């Protein structure tokens, strides 16, 4: 890739060369990259701009605009490569993009794209939220339940954006790194499927528990159930506190999938039929992420974490560098436990995978942490 000397070309691969471009007018440089690991076409990535890089491990470098690179290095320096096992892509660099980047992150092999909102601080807004909730609590004489505390947390996070700059948003980076296995190594055969995002979200929470403790995972799961999966009418009916404003109420359901689709909509299925010209972007929602991870958490509890982990490791080994769908994953899961059918007794895969609306069962979250 030939670019002006004033900028840097970053590509999702391994850099193997850098030289002056003799075939063009002066002032250009050629960057050469190679990608020896097979990848789906949607994961081809490159970016050209004014960046500085800081190494945070022997295979991870954070790239950002010069004014942000120090903060970016600090924000992500605690990510331990040992959490992710054998990483086949060799490099796991990250680039913090300009503010125009429209999403939180993208899991490109060797070069993860990240939003700058992960490191931008909002002290005043966070302080306002804390004072607002404190004032409201002093005016109300009732005790918050665990679910209500989750709602308050979600309201503050969505309305005022809890303070970053304290490594509190690195869980999103973990999510993108988990995609190195769930999405990049083993890839969805089609978009109307939970495999990529469901597994990435499930293991994001598993790794979050290793870093922050099991209470993080339990709280995150309960927050998902309450603020994303639970239908709006059930969330907004909680209104014991008269101080609750319309803005605060809307924050409870800001990410709620039932704002986009009604509870009986086919796009609330984990496995969807998107034939007939359906645009996958129209069907995309948090269903794949959150309903998917609830399903996997349920399966983990049914078979036990040790057995569940043995199953997914075998799955990754068997389907590496292949495209699969949920039916293939289900067949592998059932086959893995064929000698112990009692572990799968009464698990209705069809209801979980093809059922609409809320998951058929609520996981048993541990409320003792709250």
| Residue 65: active-site member | no
Check 71, 75, 176, 300 and give the catalytic one.
Answer: 176
Which residue reads 């990049």 in tokens? 184
DSSP class of residue 25 equals S
Tokens of 243: 């101080």
Q: Terminal CA-to-CA distance of the chain, rounded, Å?
A: 53
DSSP class of residue 274 equals -
- Do the Cβ atoms of 88 and 137 come closer than 8 Å? no
DSSP class of residue 64 equals E
Which backbone phi and psi does 111 adopt, to 5 degrees? -150, 85
Q: What is the CA radius of gyration of the chain?
A: 22
175 annotated as belonging to a binding site for a ligand? yes
- Do the Cβ atoms of 111 and 95 come closer than 8 Å? yes
DSSP collapsed to 3 states, 278-302: CCHHHHCCCHHHHHHHHHHHHHHHH
Name residue 186's beta-bridge partners: 182, 322
Neighbours of 271 (CB within 10 A): 22
Name residue 78's beta-bridge partners: none
179 annotated as belonging to a binding site for a ligand? yes
> Which distant-in-sequence residues (6+ apart) come within 8 Å of 342 by Cβ?
none
| Residue 312: active-site member | no
DSSP class of residue 229 equals I
**Roughly what angle, to the nearest 10 degrees, separates helices 69-76 and 170-178?**
70
C-alpha–C-alpha distance, residues 325 and 328, integer Å: 5
Check 33, 289, 312, 365 and give the catalytic one.
Answer: 289
Annotated binding site: 175, 179, 197
Annotated binding site for Zn(2+): 175, 179, 197
Residues serving a catalytic function are 176, 289
């Amino acid at each position: 890739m030939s670019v002006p000397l004033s900028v840097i070309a970053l590509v999702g691969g391994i850099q193997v060369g850098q030289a002056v471009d003799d075939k063009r007018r002066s002032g250009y440089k050629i960057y050469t990259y190679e990608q020896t690991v097979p990848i789906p076409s949607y994961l081809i990535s490159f970016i050209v701009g004014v960046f500085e890089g800081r190494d945070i491990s022997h295979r991870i470098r954070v790239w950002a605009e010069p004014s942000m690179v120090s903060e970016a290095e600090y924000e992500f320096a605690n990510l331990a490569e040992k959490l992710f096992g054998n990483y086949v892509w060799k490099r796991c660099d990250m680039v913090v993009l300009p503010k125009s980047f429209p999403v939180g992150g993208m899991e490109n092999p060797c070069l993860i794209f990240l939003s700058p909102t992960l490191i931008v601080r909002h002290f005043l807004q966070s302080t306002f939220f804390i004072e607002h909730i404190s004032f409201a609590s002093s005016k109300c004489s009732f005790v918050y339940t665990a679910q209500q505390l989750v709602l308050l947390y979600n309201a503050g996070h969505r309305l005022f954006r809890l303070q970053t700059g304290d490594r509190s948003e690195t869980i999103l980076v973990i999510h993108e790194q988990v995609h190195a296995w769930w999405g990049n190594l083993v890839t969805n055969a089609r978009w109307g499927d939970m495999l990529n995002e469901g597994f990435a979200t499930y293991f994001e929470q598993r790794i979050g528990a290793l870093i922050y403790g099991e209470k993080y995972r339990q709280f995150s799961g309960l927050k998902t159930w309450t603020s994303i999966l639970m239908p709006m009418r059930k969330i907004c009916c909680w209104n014991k506190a008269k101080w609750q404003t319309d803005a605060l109420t809307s924050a409870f359901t800001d990410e709620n999938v039932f704002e986009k689709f009604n509870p009986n909509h086919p796009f609330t299925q984990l496995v969807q039929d998107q034939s007939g010209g359906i645009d996958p972007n129209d069907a995309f929602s948090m269903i794949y992420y959150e309903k998917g991870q609830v399903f996997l958490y349920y399966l983990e509890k049914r078979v036990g974490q040790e057995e569940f982990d043995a199953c997914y490791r075998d799955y990754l080994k068997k389907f590496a560098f292949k495209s699969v769908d949920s039916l293939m994953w289900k067949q592998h899961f059932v086959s893995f436990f064929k000698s112990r059918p009692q572990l799968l007794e009464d698990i209705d895969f069809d209801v979980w995978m093809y059922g609409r609306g809320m998951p058929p069962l609520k996981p048993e979250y541990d409320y003792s942490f709250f």
